């Protein structure tokens, strides 16, 4: 399939984002001839990375190969569908905590992105959250050490900081996480995954880099996953009033998908081993209530914002106890990365993508 055929079948907002990622990243030569394993490659964040690599491969003749481990053959491949016939893409099926990794060909770069990340799943399948982040990470690090992979990138989360004494924090700060809280299945397993990475780096000289990812949004989000910003987008697309289940005073930073993808590429290429990097957009900090108003205002006519109560929370939803989360990204910026997509533009692009 030609690049024009792929372009015509790809979501055009996504295609524009991919072109932006390709243009902004300065070191595509690093990926020349590399074999790249990406777990959970059909997920929201990793699928943008997969497609960026495949497009760069065509534009820059990189002779790279991407292998994605997908949970099952019943998994949703819609995000990757335009690229499924690309000869540089291979899909294999299985859970990362049990897949026979030694049956794969040698991989020079390993990116572990397979993990549930939605609050609704914390309640319904906490064990399914924990295992990929712990056992899966250990198995991948072990195999990457055998392969002598040049890079290992672990997708972690800003939730590892827990409840912090200060809302503005560096990678060296930490807060409280209650290990007996069901919601902690995510934060605690990611903390453990980070430690596994550092241990393999120290003991086996595996170059591991950790991406601490905060709220990230963009085209092709699943609008039923329970995250509040996905709910707002869904309500907007359906022309409904946007409903808050609380006062909406909590403050969060939101990073657009193309900015996050650019960050992953910088971390793989320039990130220091055994180091964690915050990935967010502090210039896009907003209260949840103001975000509801922003999304509501992007429709014509603007939608109503309804402020409900905790009784309006979805059954099984486990809300965060963190009132404000404002990470420093200076460490990632020192690698040459900079988020550039603002809130209004990012959510406007997101909404437009569902009409495309």
Q: What is the 3-state secondary structure (H, E, C) of 62-77?
A: CCCEEEEEECCCCCCC
Nearest one of 353, 251, 344, 259 to 297, comparing CA atoms: 344
Alpha carbons 129 and 137: distance in angstroms, whole number: 12
Judge if the upstream peptide bond of residue 301 is cis by omega within 30 degrees of 0: yes
Q: What is the pLDDT of residue 248?
A: 86
- pTM for this prediction: 0.95
DSSP helix/strand/coil, 41: coil
Which helix (H) or strand (E) segment holds residue 253: the answer is strand 251-253
Q: HSE (CB half, 13 Å, CA atoms) of 71? A: 15
The residues near 328 (Cβ < 8 Å, ≥ 6 apart) are 168, 169, 170, 171, 278, 282
DSSP state letters, 61-120:
T---EEEEEES-TTS--GGGGGGTT-TTEEEEES-TTTS-GGGSPP-SEEEE------HH
pLDDT value, residue 250: 87
Using DSSP bridges, classify how beta strands 151-157 and 208-213 pair: parallel, antiparallel or unpaired.
Answer: parallel
Note whether 39 and 107 are within 8 A (CB): no
Q: CB of 183 within 8 A of CB of 117?
A: no
In angstroms, the CA 189 to CA 133 distance is: 6
**Helix segments in the chain, DSSP class H:** 3-9, 12-24, 44-60, 119-124, 126-131, 137-147, 184-204, 228-237, 257-270, 288-296, 330-333, 343-353
Burial class of residue 105, CB neighbours in 10 A (0-12, 13-18, 19+): exposed
Mean pLDDT (10-residue bins), the chain, 356 residues: 92 98 98 98 97 98 98 90 97 97 98 89 92 98 98 97 82 90 94 98 98 96 88 93 84 96 98 98 95 93 81 55 83 98 97 91
What separation in angstroms does the CA of 327 have from each of 81, 163, 171, 278, 296? 35, 13, 8, 7, 27
Question: Integer distance in angstroms from the first to the last C-alpha of the chain?
Answer: 21
pLDDT of residue 319: 60
Nearest to 44 by CA among 279, 230, 231, 252: 230
3-state DSSP assignment of residue 203: helix
Contact 229, 294 (CB under 8 A): no
Report the C-alpha gap between 86 and 32 in whole angstroms.
Answer: 17
Q: Where are the alpha helices (DSSP H) in 153-183?
A: none
């Amino acid at each position: 399939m030609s690049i024009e055929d792929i372009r015509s079948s790809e979501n055009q907002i996504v295609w524009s984002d991919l072109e932006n990622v390709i243009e902004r990243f300065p070191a595509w030569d690093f990926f020349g001839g590399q074999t790249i394993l990406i777990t959970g490659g059909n997920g929201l964040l990793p699928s943008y990375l997969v497609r960026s690599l495949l497009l760069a491969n065509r534009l820059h003749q990189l002779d790279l190969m991407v292998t994605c481990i997908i949970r099952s053959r019943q998994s949703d491949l819609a995000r990757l569908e335009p690229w499924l016939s690309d000869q540089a893409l291979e899909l294999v099926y299985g859970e990362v905590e049990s897949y026979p990794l030694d049956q794969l060909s040698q991989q020079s770069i390993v990116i572990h992105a397979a993990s549930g990340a939605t609050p609704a799943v914390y309640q319904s399948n906490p064990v399914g959250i924990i295992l990929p982040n712990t056992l899966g990470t250990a198995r991948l690090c072990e195999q990457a050490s055998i392969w002598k992979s040049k890079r290992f990138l672990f997708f972690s989360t800003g939730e590892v900081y827990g409840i912090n004494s200060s809302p503005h924090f560096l990678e060296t700060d930490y807060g409280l996480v209650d290990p007996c809280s069901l919601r902690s299945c995510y934060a605690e397993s990611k903390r453990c995954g980070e430690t596994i990475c550092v241990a393999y780096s120290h003991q086996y000289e595996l170059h591991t880099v950790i991406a601490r990812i905060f709220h990230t949004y963009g085209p092709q989000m699943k609008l039923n996953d329970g995250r509040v910003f996905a709910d707002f987008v869904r309500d907007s697309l359906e022309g409904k009033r946007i409903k808050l289940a609380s006062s909406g005073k909590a403050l969060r930073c939101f990073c657009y998908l193309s900015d996050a993808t650019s960050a992953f590429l910088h971390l793989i290429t320039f990130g220091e081993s055994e180091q964690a990097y915050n990935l967010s957009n502090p210039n896009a900090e907003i209260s949840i209530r103001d975000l509801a108003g922003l999304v509501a205002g992007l429709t014509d006519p603007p939608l109503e914002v309804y402020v409900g109560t905790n009784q309006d929370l979805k059954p099984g939803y486990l809300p965060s106890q963190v009132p404000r989360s404002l990470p420093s990204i200076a460490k990632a910026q020192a690698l040459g990365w900079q988020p550039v997509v603002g809130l209004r533009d990012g959510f406007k692009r997101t909404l437009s993508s569902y009409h495309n």
